[in-house]
Amino acid sequence: MHGADNPSSKKQGTAPGSFSLEANIGGATMFSSPDTPGMPSPSTKTAWDFNPAPNAHPVTQLENARLGVVTPEMMRVAEREPHLTAEQIRDEIAAGRLIIPANIVHLAMDLDPMAIGRASLTKINANMGASPVSSGIEEELEKL
């Protein structure tokens, strides 16, 4: 096509929202916060809104923990974590500070449950990266 325009050579780019658009550095949407005009209002839901219904059958470790049930997986983790009791593990799971990655598929393959979290011996592997808002190693470590 002789004389046809190349859409990527135009100032507006190839499509709305395209990577070829000029970056809005320092613009109103660069560092959006809940106070920024046009942002959605904060949610009115709390952690209590996500608790299982009283008549629901608990399926996950979190649901069991929030209902006060100590599962066999929690008891096995207590054996692996000598500094924690099964009840402390249940409390940490209910608070969202500890997880036991043990779903039905894993348990079917003879999984030996373990805990990941601040109170446990197992921590996480994470990529440390700089944020456009702030970049400090102390803040990144606190997230872990």
pLDDT value, residue 27? 62
Rounded to a whole number of angstroms, the CA Rg of the chain reads 24
The tens digit of pLDDT for each residue in 71-92 reads 999 999 999 999 999 999 999 9
The tens digit of pLDDT for each residue in 93-112 reads 999 999 998 777 777 788 88
- pTM of the complete model: 0.53
The tens digit of pLDDT for each residue in 22-33 reads 655 666 555 556
Distance between terminal CA atoms of the chain? 56
Report how far residue 144's alpha carbon sits from residue 140's, in angstroms, rounded to the nearest whole number.
Answer: 7
Q: What is the four-CA torsion angle of 67, 49, 143, 136, rounded to 10 degrees?
A: -160
Task: Give residue limits of the domains in the chain.
Answer: 58-117
Q: 98, 115 in Cβ contact below 8 A? A: yes
